[in-house]
Amino acid sequence: MTVTDRITALPEALSEPLSGALHGPVIDWFDAHARDLPWRRPEAGAWGVMVSEFMLQQTPVSRVLPVYEQWLARWPRPADLAAEPPGEAVRAWGRLGYPRRALRLHAAATAITELHGGEVPSDHAKLLALPGVGEYTAAAVASFAYGQRHAVLDTNVRRVFARAVSGAQYPPNATTAAERKLARALLPESEPVAARWAAATMELGALVCTARTPDCGRCPIAGRCAWRAAGSPAHDGPPRRGQTYAGTDRQVRGKLLAVLREALEPVPQVALDAVWDEPVQRARALDGLVADGLVEPLADGTYRLPLG
């Protein structure tokens, strides 16, 4: 029986006994051990939550912290960000990585300003329609900022469920329908409790049930963990998808954009040529940045971060 089959078979048999036994311990643990993160404070508001979610996509908390503080101080409301050129968002993004997220956050702020009266929407479908907001982020903002009842499935939660419920060391490479079904089946009925559960399971995955070396000794549900009960078997399925970087266009794009972020004036071609010696790849990377709207070519042959 594969992991997917096992998850698929669960929900009906699962219901109350298992889920009810998990909610209390996990939420109690969260009450005692949750980190005091700025976007979890009441004053963060929905905009603060949304900004944090964009920054946290594939980026560790420790690196997000300082940029988040600067960002919220400079642009306390969506309209403040929307009033500036997208290039300023890219510049302020600094070295967080995946700078297209900065562009999308700027575009989302613009949409919020023009379509939603400057208020981050609370409706899941409206959130999902915003640039850069996918299934996870829409659920996260609706749940964390507005206390709604949604299955919030990020990499942490998926790993916790894979282990505790499905008995696998790691979840599948891509989120499956079976995982969504399981997440919904485990969601507490009460709206506020469900929102708490979402944050708690995520935190458990981030602090205790980690990818490499889980600290089962500190896990509130270790006694009910299917993976532990099975003897903590090693991952068997297809290899987990790695990320290549060295020598790729991504690395070249990063170097090019770093130059433009630092520059206050448009940058001449020669300055960009200096970051990478292979001309074909260099040109392809620059073209890609322009196509993505991260870089603006000017008529005189210079380049800058986008003004419009």
Partner DNA sequence: AAGACGTGGGG
Partner DNA sequence: TCCCCAAGTCT
> Which residues ranging from 222 to 281 are in contact with DNA (CB under 7 A)?
240-245, 248-251, 253-255, 257-258
Q: How many residues sit in the footprint of DNA (CB under 7 A)?
A: 59
**Distance between CA 51 and CA 58 in Å, rounded?**
14
* Contact call for residue 172 and DNA (CB under 7 A): no
**Distance between CA 136 and CA 151 in Å, rounded?**
9
* Contact call for residue 15 and DNA (CB under 7 A): no
Among the listed ranges 25-33, 112-120, 128-136, 222-230, the one in contact with DNA (CB under 7 A) is 128-136
Helix (H, G, I), strand (E, B) or coil at 283: helix
Question: In whole angstroms, how far apart are CA 259 and each of 91, 234, 268, 285, 293?
Answer: 10, 44, 11, 14, 16
**Closer Cβ to DNA, 74 or 240, answer by number:** 240
Catalytic-residue membership of 278: no
Among the listed ranges 8-16, 66-74, 79-87, 152-160, the one in contact with DNA (CB under 7 A) is 152-160
Structure tokens at 119: 């208020």
CB of 141 to DNA, least distance (A): 9
Active-site residue, selected from the candidate residues 53, 88, 179, 296: 53
CB of 30 to DNA, least distance (A): 12
Structure tokens at 266: 């448009």
* Contact call for residue 95 and DNA (CB under 7 A): yes
What 8-state DSSP symbol labels residue 116? Answer: S
Which strand (E) or helix (H) includes residue 93?
Answer: helix 86-93
**Distance between CA 149 and CA 267 in Å, rounded?**
48
Which amino acid is located at 270 in the chain? V
- By annotation, the residues acting in catalysis are 53
- Interface ranges with DNA (CB under 7 A): 37, 39-40, 52-53, 56-63, 95-100, 104, 131-138, 140, 154-156, 159, 173-174, 202-203, 205-206, 210-213, 240-245, 248-251, 253-255, 257-258, 288
